[in-house]
Amino acid sequence: MKSFFSRFIMFLMASSLFLSCNDKVLTESVFEELEIKDKDGGVRKGGLYLPLGYDSRQEYPVVYMADGLVFKDNSYRSMVDSLIETGSIRPVVIACSYENKKQIPGFTIAYRNAEYIEALSKSDPVLKALFESHMDFFINSFIPYIENRCNVGSGRDDRVFYGTSNSADFGLTLSMRHPELMGEYWCFSPVFSDLDGFGMLGEETEYRICWGRKEEVGQEDYFPALVKSIRKRGGYVKEWSFDGGHDREWWKHWFAEELKRRFPLE
């Protein structure tokens, strides 16, 4: 009973801290676990980072992170806290959409793969349904939920997408299908993108794409060809490579560098 009571008190304290962001400036960052309903009544999990100094009376830029479990599991929060505390970046909200790592019944791949990679959806109606359902969730449930939950900008210049590996592939497809949503995409090591069938982008869109020189993607010119394909459709691409493989620590490093570039302290 004591253990339950202690957990209940901690929950109330955490809730109080989060709710306090509605009426005063946060004196420390807050990370809240989310449960977000999709249009079919299902529940997807996510997380929301509000930075030190968050004031609900002000509007903030927001990074929408797919594969968002990495924010919680790989010390992203402490890294972003440090960047803000040292004045390397201004406060920014980070919204995390969590991936589903469970295997799809009857398939050898995880839900995460099917939900992020449109190319897979072309081979099977079940995979197509999973991809389309997740795309709909991200656009029509996840983003509106975040905008209702805290004070972030709703213009495409206020939003940034961040994804790595398969979630980077999802970002590229999202940008092609819905160029009105976001002005900038950080897509690190996209490994299974197929942009055939997409025409010119309807909006000016910037891409930040990097990859490891030791990555094995089965095609030597895969990344340069992908960059060329994006530029062919009117996208502005800043590309670079690093001396590593398919590596989360490198992605984390470049995420920090991109935060410093995109959100310098003014």
Domain count, the chain: 1
How confident is the model over 55-93, as pLDDT tens digits? 999 999 999 999 999 998 878 999 999 999 999 999 999
With bands split at pLDDT 50, 70 and 90, how would you rate the model's confidence at 151? very high
Is 17 contained in some domain?
Answer: no
Check: CB of residue 39 under 8 Å from CB of residue 140. Answer: yes
User: Looking at per-residue confidence, does 180 or 39 come out higher?
Assistant: 180
**Residue 205's pLDDT is what?**
98
Within a domain: residue 202? Answer: yes
Is the residue at 197 inside a domain? yes
Q: How far apart are CA 37 and CA 137, in angstroms?
A: 8
pLDDT band at 167 (very low <50, low <70, confident <90, very high): very high
In this prediction, residues 128-157 reach a mean pLDDT of: 97
Q: Residue 155 burial by CB count (10 A; 0-12/13-18/19+): exposed, middle or buried?
A: exposed
The answer to whether position 121 is within a domain reads yes
Model pLDDT, residue 115? 97
Residue 10's pLDDT is 44
- For residues 192 and 164, the answer to whether their CB atoms sit within 8 Å is no
- Is residue 42, in this structure, part of any structural domain at all? yes
Q: What is the pLDDT of residue 8?
A: 40
Q: Domain range holding 163?
A: 27-262
- What pLDDT, on the 0 to 100 scale, is given for residue 5? 44
Q: Is the Cα torsion angle 98, 102, 104, 105 positive or negative in sign?
A: negative
Numbers of helices and strands, H then E, in the chain: 10, 8
Is 4 among the domain residues? no
Q: Minimal CA–CA distance to 76: which of 262, 261, 263, 249?
A: 249
Query: Does the pLDDT of residue 14 top 70, yes or no?
Result: no
- The DSSP result for 87-155, as a single string, is TSS---EEEEEPP--SBPTTSSSBHHHHHH-HHHHTS-HHHHHHHHHHHHHIIIIIHHHHHHHS-B--S
Torsion angle defined by CA atoms of residues 244, 245, 249 and 255, in that order, rounded to the nearest 10 degrees: 90
Looking at residue 23, its pLDDT comes to: 56
Q: Does residue 12 carry a pLDDT above 80?
A: no
CATH number of the domain bearing residue 101: 3.40.50.1820
pLDDT at 218: 72
Q: What's the pLDDT score for residue 15?
A: 46
In a domain, 22, yes or no: no
Please give the share of the chain, as a percent, with pLDDT higher than 70. 91
CA atoms of 64 and 96, how far apart (whole Å): 6
**Rounded mean pLDDT, 45-50:** 98
- Residue 170 confidence (pLDDT) above 90: yes
Q: In what order do the strands lie in the sheet with 184-188?
A: 30-37, 43-50, 93-97, 62-66, 159-164, 184-188, 206-212, 236-242
Q: What per-residue confidence (pLDDT) applies to 61?
A: 98
Give the burial class of 67: count Cβ atoms within 10 A of its Cβ; 0-12 exposed, 13-18 middle, 19 or more buried.
Answer: buried
Q: What is d(CA 157, CA 139) in angstroms, rounded to the nearest whole number? A: 16
Tens-digit pLDDT profile for residues 213-241: 999 887 779 999 999 999 999 999 999 99
